[in-house]
Structure 1
Amino acid sequence: MITSIPTQQIRAVYNNTTIRVYQAYSDVIADSALEYQTFVAPPFKIERMTWIKPSFLWMMYRAGWGFKDEGQKRILAIDITREGFEWALAHSCSSHSAPNMSHEEWKQLKNRSPVRIQWDPERNLLLQPLPYRAIQIGLSQEAVQLYIKEWIQRITDITPLAHKINSLVINQQMDEAKKLLPPESPLLGI
């Protein structure tokens, strides 16, 4: 039986206690994060919104497999607590206003919400859009503080993995590339 994937579904590498998200950074920020196993300011800018992505292929699209630019050349896998991830979702609002919402209502909602949710087309190995969406979660204000001080459990540099998969895709070795993809599953219980 063939089942379709829902238009909006969180898919990730996760277990009972953690969920993996991805971010791409410069060498300076990545090296600091790996050394301290969290993000430290400086070089990390706590006052800026930081976007976390549970989808490996969406991260590869955003960072061009780590080759897009110097600011996104290092791909980090960040294991955070499920509790933190769920808190972020519970304290979020969409990055776009709802239909029929006034500018003032939208501004008030954004001011109350330290987290933004955005759904963008998921990507395949060729980084082409798929008909369903991947979630991005923007953390700001208190959410960034919780992220760096409480939620992060482990940070791993997966840039070599990204480059290896990209190389296989370039050489049209798609089956081998698929075998190396992180095993993302629909997130249940959220």
Structure 2
Amino acid sequence: MELELVANVMELPFKTEFYKTLQMHWPTNGKVILHSSNINVTDDTIILYQAYNSSIAEYAVAHQTFSNCKDFSTNRMTWLKPNFCWMMYRSGWATKPNQERILAITMKKVHFNEILMKSVSTSKREIAANSEGKGNQSAVVDVRLQWDPDHDPFGGKLERRAIQIGIRGKALDIFLTQQILSICDITDFVREQSKNVESERLDFLCVPAECVYTIDDELLRNHIKLD
């Protein structure tokens, strides 16, 4: 099978599937977290995507951490994205400056949920920042949550919303030193599949086999306003 060859030759951390096959099973609207798990670990993991320049990416893969990388800034917010197509939209399929390398980062779902529970939505931060006496409070938020329009492989907006989580400060330190299980460079896979997008051959486009991320904790679901 072509899908098995893609996964085996490139040693990907996730299963792959045809985009058009997955598309039939994904919700078309609402706030939805699409994700895949690491096939080399257990099904209690979630893969998050980030895009970097070659210097940071090579260090991160070689050392399996971003800590002590001279080009990685711990003073700015780092954004985590579980949705592959949203990452492709954001990075232009690994073509935008300083986003030429795509990393798949594995962490446990329980830690991902802990980050979500600590999050403050961008809209709440904006309200706080514009409220008298609350500007300083909004400035110390370590976990920021955004629901943005999801995008198809060509970059077109969809009705469905995709999540991205920004972390900094203590949350970033914990993520870097305690929560990362593995870091894999999937840039070759991205560039190979981008050829199918460029030639408009979606029938051949393979992506991570993402499904809807389920959260049983009603308090957490309500906190992030998950549909």
Task: Normalising by structure 1, report the TM-score.
Answer: 0.89
Residues 121-136 of structure 1: matches in 2 within 5 Å? 121-136=149-164
Q: For residue 110 of structure 2, what is the aligned residue in structure 1?
A: 83
Give SS of 1:67's match. Answer: coil
Unaligned runs of 5+ in 1: none
Counterpart in 2 of 1:7?
30
User: Where does residue 173 of structure 1 map in the other structure?
Assistant: 201
Structure 2 residue corresponding to 1:63, chosen from 82, 91, 94? 91
- 5 Å matches for 1:78-117? 78-97=105-124, 103-104=131-132, 107=135, 109-111=137-139, 113-117=141-145
Tell me the TM-score normalised to structure 2 length: 0.75
Aligned partner of 2:210 among 170, 173, 184 = 184
CA deviation map 1:24-75 (0-9, x unaligned):
0011100110011111232211111100101111111111111111x11000
Gaps of 5+ in 2: 1-24, 217-227
Identity %: 34
Structure 2 residue 165 is the aligned partner of structure 1 residue 162: no
Rounded Cα–Cα distance in structure 1 between residues aligned with 2:103 and 2:65 = 11
Amino acid at match of 2:30: T
Give the superposition deviation at 1:81.
1.6
Instruction: Specify the alignment match of 1:35 in structure 2.
Output: 62
RMSD of aligned C-alpha atoms? 2.2
- Structure 1's 186 and 4: CA in aligned 2 closer, same or farther, altered over 3 A? closer
* Cα distance in structure 1, aligned partners of 2:168 and 2:127: 26
DSSP 3-state at the match of 2:164:
strand
Amino acid at match of 2:158: L
Deviations 1:135-157 (A, max 9, x none): 01000111111111111101111
Report how far residue 113 of structure 1 moved: 3.2
- Which letter maps to 1:83? V
Paired residues of 1:97 and 1:106 also in contact (CA < 8 A): no
Deviation at 1:77, TM superposition (A): 0.5
Tell me which of 133, 146, 149 is aligned to 2:177: 149
CA offset digits 1:7-28 (Å, max 9, x no partner): 1111111364211000000111
1:59-117 Cα distance to aligned partner (Å, 9 max, x none): 11111111111x11000010112122111101110112379755246535534531000
Q: How many residues end up aligned between the 2 structures?
A: 186
**Closer/same/farther in 2, CA of residues 155 and 104 from structure 1, 3 Å limit:** farther
Give the letter aligned to residue 161 of structure 2. R
Cα distance in 1 between the residues matched to 2:168 and 2:124: 18
Say whether residues 1:74 and 2:97 are aligned partners. no
Question: Does residue 1:53 correspond to 2:81, yes or no?
Answer: yes
